[in-house]
Amino acid sequence: MSYLNELNEVQRQAVTHIDGPALIIAGPGSGKTRVLTYRIAHLIDSGIAPWSVLTLTFTNKAAKEMKERIANVAGKNAGKIWAGTFHSVFARILRVEASKIGYPSDFTIYDSKDTKSAITELVKAHGLDPKLYNASAVYNRISLAKNSLISPKAYFEDVNRLLEDKQNKMPYIYKIYELYVGKCKRSAAMDFDDLLYQMYQLLENNPDVLSKYREKFKYILVDEFQDTNLLQYSIIKKLVSYDGSSNNICVVGDDAQSIYAFRGATIQNILNFEKDFPGIEVFKLEQNYRSTNYIIQAANDIIAKNSKQIKKTIFTDKKEGELIRVINAITDTEEARQVVNMIVEQKNRYHISNDDIAILYRTNAQSRVFEEALKSKRIPYKIYGGTSFYDRKEVKDVLGYLRAVVNPKDEEALKRILNYPTRGIGPTSISKLLKIATEEKLSLWTICENVHHASLPKRTENAIKQFVQMIKLFQKRIANSTAYELAKYIVKMTEIILDLKKPRTIEAQNRVENVTELLDGIKSFVEDDEVDEFSTNIEDKSLQSYLQNVVLLTDLDKDLEEETRVKLMSVHSSKGLEFKSVFIVGVEENLFPSMMALKSKDINAAVDEERRLFYVAVTRAEQFLTLSYSTSRYRFGNMTYNTSSRFLEEISSKYLDLSTQNKTAKVSQTYNKKNTMDKLSTMSKPYVKAKMMANFKASPISMASVGCEILHQRFGNGKIISIDGDGSNKVATIFFEDEVGEKRIMLKFAKIQVLE
């Protein structure tokens, strides 16, 4: 058992504890996987039959890695343990016991596409509106019910669920649920949720089967226990005997890293585990082997504010390391620029490779400005667990409309939008139109304009005529609209946002945010009045000019062929990963914590979850951690003025390097009651600025003259020191306060208020 020498004292205790219930609280970077795999190896070395050990994980990758590690320690016996995801292990058992629940052993497992197809069929068959009863939305409601152990009958009797469905204009979900369950049974099929739901029913209604598997699985281990939901934990408790004969259960997790409530995970499972299993042994893995001391202490400061938690204090033997850098920028564009400049600095000074750097954000829509800033510096990057902003379907759909309005002969754009949102122009009709265009050597647009010659069904012909009229209506607005005004009008008239909202899911909300971020980017392009030596044709704010900028920007990807890439990802996607240098961006109120959390009915629980998410982000960093935020950004087409996140302010200033901040936005103690005077003194200017901006009113440019004091919508207070150029091309050089410094502004587009 030489492997025990590789463990610290607490790890060794957790590994060698065999009998009875055990809870291993594994802080970030504390060697959790090693402890779990060595514990299983130790069970086998202690004479426990490997086939009596059940290990449940959340990914097949984790299960495979675990078996490989155990094999390195315990040899070939590792292959005999039961290890896999909840779904894979329970599917294996259900195939053996299928007859007990009225299924054949060769039942089909439906993936999400199969499930949505079956639901769509039921919706149509019963005369319900498929636009209201969107398959994804209905599927999510049914999934939530199953994972809460709610049967169709119980669903129908749940007044609150029925009321919520009625408010969402889907009052017959209970009926679809009942019909869907029957359809699956007749088809001898189970969906992913059924693999859990039916497993519970099997154990609940068949005492002989329950006894069989309690006898079989003498030792049960659960990884990432904080991510389990009600149904998963209910099955686990079924498999563990309370009479003491087989209560050898060990769960490993960290309540401070419970961040999947939106998927149904409940932190109460790990918080209540000690109550559920009296006589439990608790092992706290508090030594962190990943991060430097400053990062660890900052993490402790953050999580200490949560109301419900299992108390622990993580520590490290590593040196203090670099202070945590804090960037406060004036705009989100400037934030991205400063972050990328710091990446360049770290690469040059510390020789950090791109692969060792990650930019983490709260919402995927935030990636746009960072992608653009990275491309401008020719730094290759990869969107981890997602798609590059301009490659996201909803973004390409909107851009498709913009391209078609500027150039209706753009066939690729037309093909993309001709039937989006759905207007009854099917793929067969589009193929016919394309064939005619090829044969007659005409553009697809020309064929659409003369669709009465195409011999299509009358309904399809009318839909194409309406589409053509719509595009021509948009074209009439080009001359008298900015790129933003026209894009906003197009998105509204095509009802793209309404179409994206239909599923009523987190993913749908993300897609809506991406479209609004695209519009915000267009508005930023239109209202950018700053001039520098790299500016080209700043006078042109047309839709054509914007599209050209986007094409040139995205085309830079072809030049970025360096093997290593900076990682961009949401904080949720970063869980379980680590990087030498981490940038957490957009650390602002209403962004991180999110606006949704701050408007939640249970705001304390919602903010606690956001704080755990921030804790996860901070503890991804090994050597360098940078936190950034901007005091203004476009959101939903409006300029918003922001304060730093409460999470940033919860970190002791002795761990922070504030040298990169603007003097007007030093990290305050806004949420620390002991520092009320500090709050008033350090936050007065930002709040005064926000108040002034709320009353901002642009002055006629004719009022601008050398020597006058002005207020700029983005840069704040300043003084005009010179004006050069003629007519509409006049450029003012303005010196701004608060470390903004000197800026050259094109007066034609300037958003300034001349102060009396």
3-class DSSP state of 92? helix
Q: Using H for helix, E for strand and C for coil, what is the string for 520-585?
A: HHHHHHHHCCECCCCCCCCCCCCHHHHHHHHHHHHHHHHHCCCCCCEEEEEHHHHCCCCEEEEEEC
Q: Helix (H, G, I), strand (E, B), or coil: what is residue 754?
A: strand
- Asked about 349 being catalytic, the answer comes back as no
Q: What is the distance between the alpha carbons of residues 655 and 256, in angstroms, rounded to a whole number? A: 21
Distance CA 565, CA 378 (A): 11
| 257 carries an active-site annotation | yes
Q: Tell me the pairing of strands 632-635 and 357-361.
A: unpaired
Q: Which two tokens stand for residue 593?
A: 């914590």
Please, which residues bridge with residue 718 across strands?
710, 736
Known active-site residue 198: no
Diameter over CA atoms, the chain:
92
β-pair partners for 742: 735
- C-beta of residue 235 within 8 angstroms of C-beta of residue 199: yes
Residue 607's identity, in one-letter code, is: V
| Strand, coil or helix: 646 | helix
Report the half-sphere exposure of 376 (CA within 13 A, side-chain side): 19
Selected catalytic residue, list 375, 392, 567, 620:
620
Catalytic member of 33, 363, 640, 660:
33
Note if 469 is an active site residue. no
> Cα angle vertex 648, ends 743, 579, to 5°?
90
Measure CA of the first residue to CA of the last residue in the chain; give whole Å. Answer: 81
Instruction: Scan for tokens 């970190």, then name that residue.
Output: 651
Cα distance between residue 437 and residue 431, in whole Å: 10
Q: From residue 341, how far is each of 328, 379, 438, 581, 617 by CA, in Å? A: 14, 11, 49, 14, 21
Distance CA 619, CA 576 (A): 10
Interior angle at CA 631, CA 302 and CA 683, nearest 5: 70
33 is an active site residue: yes
CA distance 190 to 156: 21
334 CB-near residues (< 8 Å, 6+ apart): 630
Q: What does the DSSP assignment read for 222-242?
A: ESSGGG-BHHHHHHHHHHS-S
Place of tokens 């052993």: 105
Measured distance CA(357)–CA(371) in Å, rounded: 14
744 included as an active-site residue: no
CA dist., res. 393 & res. 673, Å (int): 46
Q: Could you give the CA distance from residue 670 to residue 123 in angstroms, rounded to a whole number?
A: 51
Rounded Cα gap, residues 707 and 704, in angstroms: 9
Chain Cα centroid distance, residue 500? 17
Annotated active-site residue in 55, 115, 228, 257: 257
Which candidate in 224, 520, 588, 738 is catalytic?
224
Torsion angles phi and psi, residue 364, rounded to 5: -60, -30
Q: In this structure, are residues 655 and 323 in contact, taking their beta carbons and an 8 Å threshold? A: yes
Q: Pick the catalytic residue: 165, 193, 223, 608?
A: 223
CA distance 667 to 650: 10
Backbone angles phi, psi at 708, to 5 degrees: -80, 150
Structure tokens at 439: 């044969």
Show the DSSP H helices in 658-723 as ranges.
Answer: 676-694
- Phi, psi of 31, deg, nearest 5: 85, 35
> Which residues are known catalytic residues?
32-33, 223-224, 257, 620
